[in-house]
Structure 1
Amino acid sequence: MTSTRESLWSVAPEDRPRERLARLGPGGLSDSELVALVLGSGMPGVNVLDSAGSLLRQTGGVTELMTMTVGELRSLKGVGVATAGRIVAVAELWRRANDPPPGAVLQSPRHVADAARAHVAANPAGGDGTDSVMLIVVADSELRLRVVVPLAGGLSGEPRAHSLVASALHEVLYRGGAAFALALVCDDHPEGLADLRAIRDVLKLASATVGLRYLSTVVVTGARWAPLE
């Protein structure tokens, strides 16, 4: 790769990200240029524009980059603590600016069931043919509801269970949550409860290792609900 000094000198001053931002505004910059401004400097021996392009290629794009945790970013080539921190900080500021006000306090499993039922009512099924939906109910450190996030797919099979656990923890961390609950909203004849119990047990153990608080798991069927025993 070209050295930082050679690459920067090869770019005309008016075409560098800061100058283009001042002239065109953020809407006139490419994804790589915006990421370059967040990074501030490039990886060793690589200019900041090429470093930004490398990050976007490794992650798959801006959306994927902005949804990664510090740990996930650190696993990328050339990303250290400072770079990961800057990216996560920008993503968190955007989320805070657009997050709705904190919701009700999740004082009991009943409140988890209410949050899950309200989410499903506000977001009807998209016609995918499934009769159930798995939800992660994310709360802050004071157990105030932050967001309810659906997890795609069914419960069956060990690989799927591992995937659900990883997806659930990722969503809680990405959403800035400190606590969470699991909810299965289904018809009157729920299936796969044994798999759900296994997922719950793994989540309870895994949550402690990443500093999260597990609250409860509930099954919601129509107007009824029950904690998973």
Structure 2
Amino acid sequence: MKNSRVSLWAVAPEDRPREKLARLGPAGLSDAELVALVLGSGLRGVNVLDSARLLLEQSGGVQELMGLTVRELRQLIGVGAATAGRLVAVAELWRRAHDPPPGPAVETATDLVRAIRAQVEVDSVSRSGFGDHVDEAPPATYLVITDAELRLRWVLALATSDDETIAAFASRVLHEVLFRGGSAFAVAWLSSEGFSDDSEARAAHDVLRIASATVGLTFLSALVVTGPSWQAL
């Protein structure tokens, strides 16, 4: 990475991020150039474009960068409170602009099950559109996210891994809820396929209940849905 702000001035004026934005629109800019515009200024001794590239390298790309929380951003080299705040604000504005409208209120566990089954059906139809070429198994774990008024906002299938620990699973769930601006959530396993046995699912329930309280989220329920029946853990 270059170590001087002067290097940016070596770029032709019309090719600098702000000028390119005016000339080509946002689609004509690279990820680094767009991040540079959000940053406004670079790290000490580093121009803003190289600073943007450094953030993208550390985070793994623009999608990963926009999914980080303030705490996670502050752990990156050169990121202070102001920079973290700007990046999170941009991600939040994008999320709000693309959020689905609030759904019905989730007042009972039956409402949760109804929402999950509806999404399972949608996912099943979507997979069937690929014919016989789909090798992956259907999702075994679903996450339901609501707002503070317990209105349904998202029902998401979660990818699971046999070697993922319960703590890692809980951390991933909380990150998904926080990233999507949720206030409350529930987790459901179709049959008991999300974990090897019910004891692991109950352990996940306990970890989620405790962890959610530490970050100010409401944990609604953990469910096991099997065909026409279901039970809350």
Query: Normalized against structure 2, the TM-score is what?
Result: 0.89
**C-alpha displacement at 1:167, in angstroms?**
0.8
Count of equivalent residues: 224
**C-alpha displacement at 1:187, in angstroms?**
7.7
Aligned AA (1:3) = S
What's the Cα RMSD here?
Answer: 2.0
Partner of 1:123, secondary structure, is helix
Query: In the alignment, which of 203, 222, 225 is matched to residue 227 of structure 2?
Result: 222
Residues in 2 aligned to 1:19 and 1:37: alpha-carbon distance in whole angstroms: 11
2:218 aligned with 1:213, yes or no? yes
**1:133 matched residue in structure 2:** 140
Residues in 2 aligned to 1:118 and 1:71: alpha-carbon distance in whole angstroms: 35
More relative contact order, 1 or 2 (CA 8 Å, 6+ apart): 1
Residues in 1 aligned to 2:181 and 2:110: alpha-carbon distance in whole angstroms: 23
**C-alpha displacement at 1:215, in angstroms?**
0.7
Residues in 2 aligned to 1:42 and 1:58: alpha-carbon distance in whole angstroms: 15
Gaps of 5+ in 2: 128-133
Matches within 5 A, 1:107-122: 107-122=107-122
2:69 aligned with 1:69, yes or no? yes
Query: In the alignment, which of 181, 187, 210 is matched to residue 186 of structure 2?
Result: 181
Contact 2:192 2:198 (C-alpha < 8 Å) held by counterparts? no
Residues in 1 aligned to 2:39 and 2:221: alpha-carbon distance in whole angstroms: 39
Deviations 1:126-163 (A, max 9, x none): 54554661111111111111111222125x56x52122
Deviations 1:87-114 (A, max 9, x none): 1111111111111101111111111111
Contact 1:131 1:187 (C-alpha < 8 Å) held by counterparts? no
Residues in 1 aligned to 2:22 and 2:137: alpha-carbon distance in whole angstroms: 50
**C-alpha displacement at 1:192, in angstroms?**
1.6
Partner of 2:223, secondary structure, is strand
**2:56 matched residue in structure 1:** 56
Partner of 1:77, secondary structure, is coil
**1:8 matched residue in structure 2:** 8
Contact 2:139 2:159 (C-alpha < 8 Å) held by counterparts? no
Partner of 2:150, secondary structure, is coil
Residues in 2 aligned to 1:66 and 1:168: alpha-carbon distance in whole angstroms: 17
Partner of 2:182, secondary structure, is coil
Residues in 1 aligned to 2:145 and 2:189: alpha-carbon distance in whole angstroms: 14
Partner of 1:181, secondary structure, is strand
Gaps of 5+ in 1: none
**2:173 matched residue in structure 1:** 168
Query: In the alignment, which of 129, 134, 143 is matched to residue 150 of structure 2?
Result: 143
- The alpha-carbon distance between structure 1 residues 136 and 18, as it changes in their structure 2 partners (threshold 3 A), is same
Matches within 5 A, 1:15-54: 15-54=15-54
**C-alpha displacement at 1:53, in angstroms?**
0.2
Aligned AA (1:146) = R
- The alpha-carbon distance between structure 1 residues 7 and 132, as it changes in their structure 2 partners (threshold 3 A), is closer
- Structure 1 stretches of 4+ moved >3 Å: 125-132
Query: Normalized against structure 1, the TM-score is what?
Result: 0.90
Residues in 2 aligned to 1:33 and 1:192: alpha-carbon distance in whole angstroms: 48
